[in-house]
Amino acid sequence: MFIVAMSMASLAACSATSAVLGDAIRPDTAGRATTVPTTSTVVPLPTPWDAEMLDEVNSHRAEHGVEPLVRCDTLQQAAQGSAEVLARWGKLSHTGPDGSEPRDRARDAGYRGSSYVGENIASGYGDAGHAMDGWMDSPGPRANILEPTFTHVGFGRASGDGPGSPYWVQKFGANATC
């Protein structure tokens, strides 16, 4: 089990870049997290961990002669949403508690025009590098990372109260608009 400690400022900064529907959590002028009602989706911004993960994914692909992936906002939104569901649920599964599958969640986030979507999930890794190591050591996730058909990617990370926290998600897609 990994234990991750975050300062309130770090938590507020992470929350401000999360993809959420409904209320958004934002730091107020004093740096405290506050809830701000919204009717639109907050598109996640690149963070240091997700930039690191994109670099690692594309480095592995380059080592195997595979074209780099491009970060896609709709897949990023789908991945972040999936990570948040896993964290609340406290369970790793490609099938959501509502019966949805990875391609359903990508489509619902706006990734349309492709039926070819892949997903990697993990929990308990303290940072992006260790999550990537775990995926590269596992045949299915490794195949997703190195799949030449995939052209787009999005990442999600969320913490929960359960022992598997944090939860990590990679969403892959091809032949759709981001």
Start-to-end CA distance of the chain, whole Å, equals 35
Count the alpha carbons within 13 Å of 177 in the hemisphere toward its beta carbon.
1
Token pair recorded at residue 46: 């690149």
Q: Using CA atoms, how far apart are residues 167 and 174, in angstroms rounded to an integer?
A: 24
pTM (predicted TM-score): 0.74
Say if residues 149 and 69 touch (Cβ distance below 8 Å).
no
User: What's the pLDDT tens digit per position in 57-85?
Assistant: 999 999 999 999 999 999 999 999 999 99
User: What's the pLDDT tens digit per position in 96-154?
Assistant: 999 999 999 999 999 998 778 999 999 999 999 999 999 999 999 999 999 999 999 99
What whole-number percentage of the chain has pLDDT above 70?
74
Q: Could you tell me where the beta strands, DSSP code E, fall in the chain?
A: 23-27, 33-37, 70-71, 117-123, 152-158, 167-173
Contacts 24+ apart (CB under 8 A), 89-96: 90/160, 90/161, 90/162, 90/163, 90/164, 91/164, 92/121, 92/122, 92/123, 92/164, 92/167, 93/121, 94/119, 94/121
Distance of CA 11 to the CA centre of its chain: 16
